[in-house]
Amino acid sequence: MITLKQIEAIYWIVELGSFEAAAAKLNMSQSAISKRVQELEDAFGVSIFDRSKRSARLTQKGLELHGCAVDMLRQRDNLLDRISSKETLVRRFRLGVTELTALTWLPTLVEQIHQTYPKVDLEPSIELSTDLLRRLEADELDLIIVPDIFRDARFISTPLASVENAWMCAPSLYPSDEPMDLQLLSSFTVLTQGGSSGTGQTYERWLAEHDVRLTRTLTSNYLVAQVGLAIAGVGLSYLPRQCMSALIEQGRLKVIHTDLPLPPISYVCVHRADRYQGLSSEVARLAQRACDFTRLIIT
């Protein structure tokens, strides 16, 4: 008789790459995991893993079984979403966020998820916006929190809040209090976020629309590095204004006023439309309540 526990063993072996890692994930011995695999192989009369390889590699039949296993476990999760109370719901939830969310209100959201769904196994990932969207598309994440730059009917978006950004630098780099013409940006080294960042994409387009051509840029995928380089006087950058308030008050960063202010960046929760998303929708509502970009955890 085939059981979900056997199917789950196959899933985690493939997901984590080894029998040992799957055993640790499921709090079992490696021999117990191997026994579940053997039971499935005996039931079907086929080999699921190629034992001539050092790593846990599936045979052709194993690949077919793994595809069915993913569908079966997803259906189990959907059933739990529909009929379980919040207290008894047991499943994992894969949440993807960008660095700004991780540095501000992610701990509050995690705490609220644990309080509301105490038995959910939460798996957060911190990555760039385009990488998060790619993983959501591949069904490797259940919900992502990113800038609102993606328009796709395959996804459902829940609005969160907008982040006001401003040009900033070390006070010594631009001592004048006069507003700066946008075209003057080209005379400075500008610290930017890359094209994999939703904020970076938005401001690249905005600068191009205003015919601003930056001649010297340093690109970083990490907000913390961007802030550190700005404080060090390497260049000027666009940074979240409210988050940087403590550094501005300390005189380590200075806001540069420009004739045209930067547009705000709207953030959204995004999940797939082709999955039953009871839990994702609830997490999106929790995110709306928890969302607060005003304070950095680390300053």
pLDDT at 298: 60
In the predicted structure, residue 299 carries a pLDDT above the cut 60: no
Q: What is the mean pLDDT of residues 94-107?
A: 95
pLDDT digits (tens, 9 = 90+) for 16-28: 888 888 888 888 8
pLDDT at 187: 92
What total number of domains does the chain contain? 3
pLDDT at 71: 83
| HSE toward the beta carbon, residue 241, CA cutoff 13 A | 14
- Percent of the chain past pLDDT 70, that is, above it, reads 94
Query: Mapping DSSP to helix (H, G, I), strand (E, B) and coil, where does residue 204 land?
Result: helix
Q: What is the CATH number of the domain that holds 54?
A: 1.10.10.10
- Percent of the chain past pLDDT 90, that is, above it, reads 53
**Which has the minimum average pLDDT: 47-51, 186-190, 267-271, 289-293?**
47-51
Q: Where are the alpha helices (DSSP H) in 98-242?
A: 99-103, 106-116, 129-137, 198-209, 223-231
Rounded to whole angstroms, the Cα distance separating 114 from 280 reads 14
What domain range is 111 assigned to?
91-162+266-290
Q: Are residues 271 and 209 in the same domain?
A: no
pLDDT at 157: 93
Q: Are residues 104 and 190 in the same domain?
A: no
pLDDT band at 109 (very low <50, low <70, confident <90, very high): very high
Rounded to whole angstroms, the Cα distance separating 104 from 174 reads 28
* Residue 23 belongs to a domain: yes
The count of other CB atoms within 10 Å of the CB of residue 252 is: 17
Q: Are residues 108 and 78 in the same domain?
A: no
In the predicted structure, residue 210 carries a pLDDT above the cut 80: yes
pLDDT at 166: 96
Q: Are residues 152 and 182 in the same domain?
A: no
Written as one letter, the residue type at 154 is R
Tokens matching residue 296: 């950095």
Q: Are residues 150 and 18 in the same domain?
A: no
pLDDT band at 90 (very low <50, low <70, confident <90, very high): low
pLDDT band at 190 (very low <50, low <70, confident <90, very high): very high
pLDDT at 14: 85
pLDDT at 97: 97
pLDDT digits (tens, 9 = 90+) for 216-273: 999 998 999 999 999 999 999 999 999 999 999 999 999 999 988 999 999 999 999 8
End-to-end Cα spacing for the chain: 57
Rounded to whole angstroms, the Cα distance separating 179 from 259 reads 6
Q: Are residues 111 and 199 in the same domain?
A: no
pLDDT band at 69 (very low <50, low <70, confident <90, very high): confident
Q: Model's pTM, two decimal places?
A: 0.77
* Residue 299 belongs to a domain: no
Written as one letter, the residue type at 31 is S
pLDDT at 85: 62
* Residue 296 belongs to a domain: no
Q: Give the highest mean pLDDT range of 42-56, 70-84, 246-260.
A: 246-260
pLDDT at 51: 76
Contacts (Cβ under 8 Å, ≥6 apart) of 74: 275
Q: What is the CATH number of the domain that holds 270?
A: 3.40.190.10
pLDDT digits (tens, 9 = 90+) for 124-175: 999 999 999 999 999 899 999 999 988 888 899 999 999 999 999 999 999 9
Q: Are residues 72 and 126 in the same domain?
A: no
Q: 234: exposed, middle or buried (C-beta count within 10 Å: 0-12, 13-18, 19+)? A: middle
